[in-house]
Amino acid sequence: MSDFVSDFWHYYVTGLVVLSVAFCIWILASNMTRRSPGPVSLHDHIWDETLQEYNHPLPRWWMYLFWLTLFFAIGYYFLYPGLGNLPGKIGWTSVGQYQEEMKKADEQFKPIYDKYLKQDLLAVAVDPEAQAMGQRLFLTYCAQCHGADARGAKGYPNLTDGDWLYGGDAATVKATIVGGRQGVMPALGGVLGAEGVKDVANYVRSLSGLAHDSLRAQRGKDAFMQNCVACHGPEGKGNQALGAPNLTDRVWLYGSSEATIVETVSKGRQNQMPVFKDLLGEPKIHLLAAYVIGLSKNQDKQ
Ligand code: HEC
Ligand code: HEC
């Protein structure tokens, strides 16, 4: 497989490599002077007023080291890829090496993964060895969004708090990781107007007992009943089938301040949990789902 966009680069790189090796050979060969018979002469240049040099040949052992590196390079280019597109005699590629290592790792870990895949998720979730494997997978594939401790960040849900956008039972968590999720809160600023959004934001704050302007909340309630209940439910408790959050609890994906709620409602939110089906495959997802469930179970116990 060639990474070059045109043949030109193949010839260019090959030409450069061959020329530089040839140049090194020429330089070395032309400096292999023998010690001249007769008295050692001085070079005719003088530095720093008095500094002069004898005209000795370079030490042999040192020259041979240079030759050695050159022969090594030639051998290397013969065996390994390096001359443009030429593959090298032994057919090594970095992709091949990677696949080889992956295959070895798969052979090594497959029995372990398979063992867990056959077990019920809830049983895997309390297995310490499986949790340790799940944690390593989580740190590799999930921590950049959900945090190393899985506590999330603004826009990225906390997975340890027992509060779920889509549901925390084994099958749902697994489905979330396999197929990803798309959270869409529509922009309703246009429908409600600036004042209407503020009213509804105050009503939302009242749902979880936060400080609010009760006059505004009163007006906001009507707007909520018209525009929000389809997804967040008549009591604002959310809908896990849509990933619409419960607005009556103290858990916030984006934030509970009036300004943040105003921003959420007027501009909407688009959020995406990536699909992991093809990247990870079922055995790893099984372990990850068990790890996530284990996290929130441990939290419950505290
Ligand atoms: C690119 C960022 C990103 C990565 C990587 C990521 N997630 Fe997510 N994840 C999200 C976002 C964003 C959401 C919320 C989606 C929404 O709001 O609808 C989410 C939601 C979830 C949920 C649903 C939470 C709930 O309350 O229902 C679970 C479970 C989850 N992620 C697990 C994982 C696991 C396990 C991994 C690693 C394999 C992972 N995520 C990797 C961004 C990410
Ligand atoms: C079409 C369904 C739908 C409608 C209609 C809808 N929402 Fe949402 N809302 C969602 C979804 C889905 C999310 C989660 C977005 C995400 O995952 O990023 C959300 C998120 C929110 C949040 C953020 C909560 C947090 O934890 O930070 C607030 C606040 C909110 N909605 C308020 C409202 C209000 C007020 C209305 C009516 C004016 C409304 N929503 C109408 C689906 C909807």
Q: What is the pLDDT along the chain (302 residues), one digit of tens a residue?
A: 567 788 899 999 999 999 999 999 999 998 887 777 777 788 889 999 999 988 888 888 999 999 999 999 999 999 999 898 888 999 899 999 999 998 998 899 889 999 999 999 999 999 999 999 999 999 999 999 999 999 999 999 999 998 999 999 999 999 999 999 999 999 999 999 999 999 999 999 999 999 999 999 999 999 999 999 999 999 999 999 999 999 999 999 999 999 999 999 999 999 999 999 999 999 999 999 999 999 987 655 44
Exposed/middle/buried for residue 98 (C-beta within 10 Å: 0-12, 13-18, 19+): exposed
Exposed/middle/buried for residue 72 (C-beta within 10 Å: 0-12, 13-18, 19+): exposed
CA distance 190 to 178: 35
Distance 198 CA to ligand 2 centre (A): 15
Distance 224 CA to ligand 1 centre (A): 28
Nearest to 133 by CA among 158, 98, 108: 108
The residue whose CA is least distant from atom 41 of ligand 2 is 228
CA distance 157 to 272: 11
Residue 102 C-beta-side C-alpha neighbours within 13 Å? 7
CA 263, 264, 267, 273 torsion-angle sign: positive
CA distance 300 to 216: 36
* pLDDT given for residue 85 in this prediction: 87
Q: Please name the amino acid found at residue 224.
A: F
Distance 177 CA to ligand 2 centre (A): 22
Exposed/middle/buried for residue 95 (C-beta within 10 Å: 0-12, 13-18, 19+): exposed
**C-alpha triplet 64, 70, 74: angle, nearest 5°:** 145
* pLDDT given for residue 145 in this prediction: 97
* pLDDT given for residue 147 in this prediction: 96
* pLDDT given for residue 302 in this prediction: 44
Q: Please name the amino acid found at residue 72.
A: F
Contact 217, 202 (CB under 8 A): yes
- Sequence-separated contacts (24+) of 21-28 with Cβ below 8 Å: 21/70, 21/73, 21/74, 21/77, 24/66, 24/70, 25/70, 28/63, 28/66, 28/67, 28/70
* pLDDT given for residue 59 in this prediction: 86
The number of the ligand nearest the C-alpha atom of 138 reads 1
Distance 301 CA to ligand 1 centre (A): 23
CB atoms within 10 A of CB 217: 19
The answer for residues whose C-beta is within 8 angstroms of residue 231's C-beta and 6 or more apart is 185, 238, 239, 242, 244
106-144: b (≥16 Cβ within 10 Å) or e: eeeeeeebeebbeeebeebbebeebbebbbebbeebbee
* pLDDT given for residue 2 in this prediction: 63
The residue whose CA is least distant from atom 36 of ligand 2 is 228
Residues lining ligand 1, Cβ inside 6 A = 141-142, 144-146, 155-157, 159, 164-166, 173, 176-177, 181, 183, 243, 271-274, 276, 288, 292
* Ligand 2 pocket mutation, candidates 192, 195, 231, 251, criterion most atoms within 8 A of CB: 231
Contact 181, 273 (CB under 8 A): yes
